[in-house]
Structure 1
Amino acid sequence: MSSVLSGIDVLEGDKELQKEFSGNIGVLCHSASVNKSLDHTLQSMIKMFKGQVKKVYGPQHGFVTDVQDNMVETDHTFHPFFKLPVYSLYSETRIPTDEMLEGIDHLFVDLQDVGTRIYTYIYTLTLLLEKCAGKDIEVIVLDRPNPINAKDIEGNILDTNFASFVGRHPIPVRHGLTIGEVACMHQKYWAKEKANLRVIKMKNYSRGMNFEETGLPWVMPSPNLPTVEGCFTFVGTVLFEGTNISEGRGSTRSLEIVGHPKIRPWELEGELKELFSENNLTGFKLRPLNFMPTFQKHAGTACGGYQIHVLDRSAFRPWKVCQLLCQKFYQVLGSDFKYKEDPYEYEFDKNPVDLINGTDKVRMWMESGEGLEKLEEIEEQGRETYMEQRASILLY
C-alpha cells in the first residue's frame, strides 16, 4: 500500500494547484503541521509561494505548541526566523479580528486533530470559517488523518445548551471525521453563513486507518498527547479533567494514566475486572500503578491509579471504559471525589464535567449509580441524525 499523502504533501506535489493561489497567504498551523519528510508546513508554504505568505496564526497551545491547557493563553508575536507576524487564536480572542485577516486572500489551515470532540483545534477552524464568511477570503483546509481512525464513533452527542470551546457542535465524543470533514459538516449543517471553503484531500487514505498505518510521521499535536496511543485513551480520559482525579498531566504518560492520592489500585483491581467483564468491555488492560505528578493536580503527591494499556484498538471503547471507571472512583472516594471548579475554557457558570460531557445527563447517570445500559441510552440520543449528516459529507 502506498503511504498516505496529507494535504500539505498533495499541495507540494501539484504545481498546477499551486498556481490557483496567487494572492496574499495566511497560514494557521502548529508544531504538528509537517509534511511526510517532517518539514514544517510554514517552511513549505514560504518555499512554494515566494513573497506571498504574510501572516501566521496559532491555535491553543501556541504556534510552537509549548503552552499548557485550559485558559493558558499565548501572546501575539513576530517570528524572528520567518520574519512574519504570528497571531494567537488562543489569547484575548479565539476569533480572528478584522485586523488579523486584513490583506489576506487565501488562508490555509493545517492542524492535526485527534478525533475527539473535546479538543479545541476544530473549533478554532469553525470560528475562523464563521469570521471569513462574507469576506473575500478563501479558507483552504489541508486535510490530515484522524489518528484514531475516521470510522469508529463513540460517546454521546453534544447538547448545544452545553456548548463551549471544548464542544461547539452536536457531534459525538469520538466523531469519526477528518478535520477537513469537520469543516464540510460545519458549512453544510452548522454555519449561518457559508465561507469560501476548499479542502485539499489526502491521497491513499482510507477511513479505517489508524495513524501508524498511514506511513506519516507522528508529531505530538499538544504538550500532553505525545503518543498515538494517548489519542485513543484520550477519548475517555479527557473526562477526568472535569474532576479531581489526575489524568496524568505532570507525568510522562499523560492521558494514559489516571489516579488520586486515596485510590488503592491493587485493592480495587478485582472489582474493576469484574465490572468490565460483565459489561463485555475488552481490548485493554488496566495496570495498577503509583505515580507522582510534577505539576497540575496533586503535584508532588503520590497517587494510586491505573495505566490504560490498549491491547486491541478495534475492540477498545475508551469512552465507556472511562465513564464506568469514573463512576467507580466516585463511589469509592465518596467525599474525597470532587468536580473541578469553574471556569473551564472560558465558561464560568457550568460544571466543567458537564462541558466535557456536553450534557448534564452523563454526570447524573454517574451519580445515580445506574449501569451501562442507561449510559448507552444517553449515547444513542441524536445518533441517527448525526450519522445521516456525517454520511452526506464524507470525503473518503
Structure 2
Amino acid sequence: MKNLFQFILLSVIASSILLTQTKPGIEVLAESNFKILQGKRVGLITNPTGITSDYISTVDIFAKAKGVNLVALFGPEHGVRGDVTAGGKVDNFTDSTTGLPVYSLYGKTRKATPEMLRGIDVLVYDIQDIGSRSYTFINTMALAMEAAAENNVEFIVLDRPNPLNGNRVEGNILDLKFKSFVGQYPIPYVYGMTCGELAELLNNEGWLDGGKKCKLNVIKMENWKRWMHWDNTTLPWVLTSPHVPNSQTALFYSAIGMLGELETVNIGVGYTMPFQLVGQEWINGAQLADVLNAKKLPGVVFRPLSFKPYYGKQQGKQLSGVQIHIIDNAKINLTNIQLHVIETLIKLYPEKNPFSIADSDRNAMFDKVAGTDDVRKKLTDGVTASTIITSWKNSIDEFMKVRKKYLLYE
C-alpha cells in the first residue's frame, strides 16, 4: 500500500511538472514591473501573436503599464493586427485603439529609418516565430537590431518558445549568394533556437550588416525546456500568419513549404489543410503514397486522398495526392520530407518535373527559400534526396558549435 501511495504521489508530481505553463518574456517583464523600460520612450515591434497566456495583447499591456511610455508600433509581414496576406505590403497608419503611429517593416521600408526611431530610446520585439529560416519575422528582427545599433537605441527581445522544439536542427546552411528576406544568414532551414537565442548569435557573431552590434537584452522565458513542443508549454496559439492557424501547421510548413514556392503542385494552401498535402490533377495519389511509404522515412506516413481547393491557382479543380501524417515528432526530420517528395514526383512523372514546369521566377524563389540552387539542380540531375541530405553534415556540425554558445535554456 505504501509503495502504491508513493507511486501515485510521484505520478502527480511528474504530471504537475509536465503541465507547468511556460511563461513568455512579456510575462516575466511584467512581473518585474517593467523595470528596464521605466522612464524610457518605447517602440514595440509586434503582431497578434504578442500576447500573454491569458490572451492580453502586449500592445495593450504596454499602453496601460505604469511608467512605460509607448510611443510607436512597428508591424512585420501580415501587419500589427495580422490582417495582411503573405507577401502583401503593409502600410504606415495610425492605430485606432491606441492612437499611436504604426510604421511598416514590410512595405517600401523593411528596416526602421532614423525618422521612425526619432524620439525612441528602446525597441522591444515580441513576436511568436515558427522556427524556420524562411519565415520572415526573424529577418525583421535582425534588421531592427541593425537599425537600433545605427541609431543608438536599445533592443529588447521578449523571448517565446520555438514550436518545433529547441533541439531540432535540420536542412542546409544558407549560401549567402542567395541572401534575401526569406533567408539572410548562414543558418540551417530549421535552426533549433528561440528568437532570443538567435538574436544573441547574430549580435555577437558579427552577422549583422557591417558587423554592427546593438545593445541587446533578452528577457528569458521561465519553465521552458529545449525538448518541449508547443503543446508541452500549455500556452495558447495565435495564428502566426493566415496559413499557420495552429502549432501543428508550423511543423508541416518546414516539411513541405519549399515545394509550395514552385506553385506547380498544391500543398494544401487553398484547402483546409495548409502545408499538409501534395496534390495535382496528374498525380496518382495511391501510387505516390506507396512509393513514399516504401522509403520508410521515420516518423511520417503518407495517405492517398483527393481534394478540391477553394481558392488559389487550383481553385475548383479535383486534385489527387497524399496527406502527410506526422506520427512521431521525435523521429521525424521535417526538412528532408520535401526533398524525398520532389525526388519521387520526378521519378514517377518525369514529364511533370516540378522545376521544369515552374515559371523561372518561381524556381528563383525556391532557390532563395532553399538557400541554394544546389538542391534544385541536383534533384533535376537525378541525384537522390539521401545523397543531398548527407552532403550537409559537415556544415551543420560547424553551425552546431557556434549555436551552442548562445543557448539560454537547457
Summarize the alignment of residues 312-327 of structure 1 with structure 2, pairs less than 5 Å apart. 312-327=328-343
Q: Which residue of 2 aligns with 1:97?
A: 113
The answer for the alignment partner of 2:98 in structure 1 is: 82
Q: TM-score, normalised to structure 2's length?
A: 0.90
Q: Which residue of 2 aligns with 1:232?
A: 251
Give ranges in structure 2 of 5+ residues lacking alignment: 1-16
Does residue 297 of structure 1 match 2:313? yes
Alignment partner of 2:31 out of 13, 16, 25: 13
Q: Which moved more, 1:51-60 or 1:119-128?
A: 51-60
Cα distance, 1:295 vs structure 2:
2.5
Please state how far the C-alpha of 1:336 moved relative to its aligned partner: 3.1
Q: Kindly state the Cα deviation for residue 296 of structure 1 after the two structures are TM-superposed.
A: 2.5
Mapped pair 1:358 → 2:375 = no
Identity %: 32
- The 10-residue stretch of structure 1 (46-55 or 61-70) with the greater mean CA deviation from structure 2: 46-55
Distance 2:373 2:305 in 1: 31
Q: Is 2:283 the counterpart of 1:267?
A: no
What are the Cα deviations for residues 38-82 of structure 1, in whole angstroms up to 9, with x where unaligned?
111111111224561110011111111122223x11211111112
Instruction: Go from structure 1 to structure 2 and tell me whether the alpha carbon gap of 1:269 and 1:134 turns closer, same or farther (over 3 Å shift).
Output: closer
Q: Normalising to structure 1: TM-score of the pair? A: 0.93
For the residues of structure 2 that align with 1:20 and 1:80, how far apart are their CA atoms? 24
Aligned to 1:209: 228
Q: Supply the distance in 1 between the matched residues of 2:64 and 2:202 (Cα, whole angstroms).
A: 31
The 5 Å alignment of 1:157-168 reads: 157-168=173-184
After superposition, give the CA deviation of every residue in 1:249-274 in whole Å (9 maximum; x if it has no partner).
11121112221221110132222221
Cα gap change, 1:304 to 1:42, in 2 (>3 Å): same
Amino acid at match of 2:290: G
Cα contact 1:34–1:41 (8 A) shared by 2 = yes
Aligned length: 385
Give the greater-gyration-radius structure (CA): 2
Q: Which moved more, 1:190-199 or 1:129-138?
A: 129-138
State the AA in 2 paired with 1:249: V
Q: Report the secondary structure of 1:75's partner residue.
A: coil
- Answering whether residue 73 of structure 2 is matched by residue 56 of structure 1, we say yes
Distance 2:215 2:161 in 1: 22
The letter for the 1-side match of 2:278 is V
Corresponding letter in the other structure for 1:76: N
> Could you say what the CA RMSD is over the residues aligned between the two structures, in angstroms?
1.7
1:227-279 CA distance string (max 9 Å, x none): 211111211211112221212111121112221221110132222221x22xx
Deviation at 1:343, TM superposition (A): 4.9
For 2:354 and 2:341, the matched residues in 1 are separated by 15
CA contact (8 A) 2:308 2:316 kept: yes
Structure-2 separation of matches of 1:271 and 1:364: 22
Q: Show the counterpart of 1:347.
A: none
Greater displacement, 171-180 / 297-306? 297-306
Match of 1:199 among 203, 207, 218: 218
Contact 1:141 1:198 in 2 (8 A): yes
Q: Is the 8 A contact 1:31 1:63 kept in 2?
A: yes
Long gaps (5+) in structure 1: 345-349
Aligned residues of 1:118 and 1:166 also touching (Cα < 8 A): yes
Amino acid at match of 1:264: N
The question of whether the paired residues in 2 share the 8 Å contact of 1:157 and 1:381 is answered with no
* 1:330 and 2:352 aligned: no
Asked whether 1:371 is paired with 2:387, we answer no
Corresponding residue of 1:249 = 269
CA distance 1:122–1:362, change in 2 (3 Å): same
1:115 aligns with 2:128: no
Q: For the Cα contact (< 8 Å) 2:303–2:324, is it kept in 1?
A: yes
Range that drifts further, 167-176 or 19-28: 19-28
One-letter amino acid of the structure 1 residue matched with residue 99 of structure 2: K
Provide the C-alpha distance between the structure 1 equivalents of 2:268 and 2:394, rounded to a whole number of angstroms.
Answer: 31
SS at the partner of 1:393? coil
Query: What amino acid is aligned across from residue 293 of structure 2 in structure 1?
Result: K
Q: What code does the residue aligned with 2:213 have?
A: K
Which whole-Å CA distance do the structure 2 matches of 1:387 and 1:302 have between them? 44
Find out whether 1:388 has 2:401 as its counterpart.
yes
